[in-house]
């Protein structure tokens, strides 16, 4: 059983950020090679057609988006290092970081929770807390261990069961 107050690190893992950054960087490299050596047009499903220069511009544009993705991965690692985020549970509620780079926090008092559901999308598990102000989602992948997620879920379900 979960003992409160309690704080959990609530951050994406470095391994995932490095992997994502490496993948988009490799994609960017491949697209840059395609752009530099391009000598033909491009047809996308026979709907969008580019001549040689249009295809080259298209490849460079995609390369630019990949470079941007790599920079976002680096920025995410720096932000995590400089300002690690925490999910906090106390006697009255839970505080969950959310938003771009988890830059904001949302406080949910246990008494405000009207329902709890779990959603799985492409192996990503979300615990949805419904309040009069709307829905707040807690992501399993941002917690250090799956057991931490299960403990929090069980604790919140018990709080909901006994508060109503």
pLDDT digits over 60-79, tens only?
A: 999 999 999 999 999 999 99
- Whether the Cβ atoms of residue 160 and residue 113 lie closer than 8 Å to each other: yes
Rounded CA-CA distance 154/149 in Å is: 9
User: Quick check: is 53 in a domain?
Assistant: yes
User: Quick check: is 110 in a domain?
Assistant: yes
In this structure, the answer to whether residues 71 and 132 fall within a common structural domain is no
Domain's final residue, options 24, 49, 82? 82
Structure tokens at 4: 């409160």
Q: What is the pTM of this model?
A: 0.78
User: Quick check: is 126 in a domain?
Assistant: yes
User: Quick check: is 116 in a domain?
Assistant: yes
- What is the average pLDDT score of the chain? 93
Rounded CA-CA distance 81/95 in Å is: 20
- Respond yes or no on whether the N-terminal peptide bond of residue 39 is cis (omega within 30° of 0): no
Rounded CA-CA distance 61/67 in Å is: 10
The proportion of the chain whose per-residue pLDDT surpasses 90, expressed as a percent, equals 87
User: Quick check: is 1 in a domain?
Assistant: no
Sign of CA dihedral 154, 160, 163, 164: negative
pLDDT digits over 86-103, tens only?
A: 999 998 999 999 888 888
In this structure, the answer to whether residues 95 and 147 fall within a common structural domain is yes
According to DSSP H, which parts of 37-127 are helical? 52-82
Rounded CA-CA distance 154/102 in Å is: 24
User: Quick check: is 24 in a domain?
Assistant: yes
Coil, strand or helix at 99? coil
Q: Which pLDDT band holds residue 28 (cuts at 50, 70, 90)?
A: very high
Residue 141's domain comprises 6-11+86-163
Q: What does residue 13 show for φ and ψ, rounded to 5 degrees?
A: -75, 150
In this structure, the answer to whether residues 90 and 78 fall within a common structural domain is no
Beta bridge mates, 103: none
Domain's final residue, options 66, 82, 98? 82
Domain count, the chain: 2
Q: Which pLDDT band holds residue 4 (cuts at 50, 70, 90)?
A: confident
Residues in the chain: 164
In this structure, the answer to whether residues 64 and 40 fall within a common structural domain is yes
Domain's final residue, options 60, 82, 104? 82
For the residues 25-48, what does the mean pLDDT come to?
96
């Amino acid at each position: 059983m979960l003992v409160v107050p309690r704080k959990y690190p609530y951050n994406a893992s470095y391994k995932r950020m490095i992997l994502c950054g490496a993948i988009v960087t490799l994609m960017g490299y491949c697209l840059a090679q395609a752009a530099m050596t391009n000598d033909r047009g491009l047809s996308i499903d026979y709907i969008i057609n580019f001549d040689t220069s249009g295809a080259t511009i298209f490849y460079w544009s995609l390369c630019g988006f990949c470079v941007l993705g790599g920079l976002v991965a680096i920025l995410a690692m720096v932000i995590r290092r400089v300002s690690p985020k925490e999910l906090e549970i106390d006697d009255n509620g839970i505080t969950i970081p959310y938003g771009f780079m988890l830059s904001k926090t949302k406080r949910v008092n246990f008494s405000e929770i009207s329902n709890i559901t779990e959603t799985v999308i492409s192996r990503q598990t979300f615990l949805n807390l419904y309040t009069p102000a709307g829905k707040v989602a807690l992501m399993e992948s941002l917690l250090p261990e799956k057991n931490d997620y299960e403990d929090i879920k069980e604790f919140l379900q018990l709080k909901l069961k006994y508060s109503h």
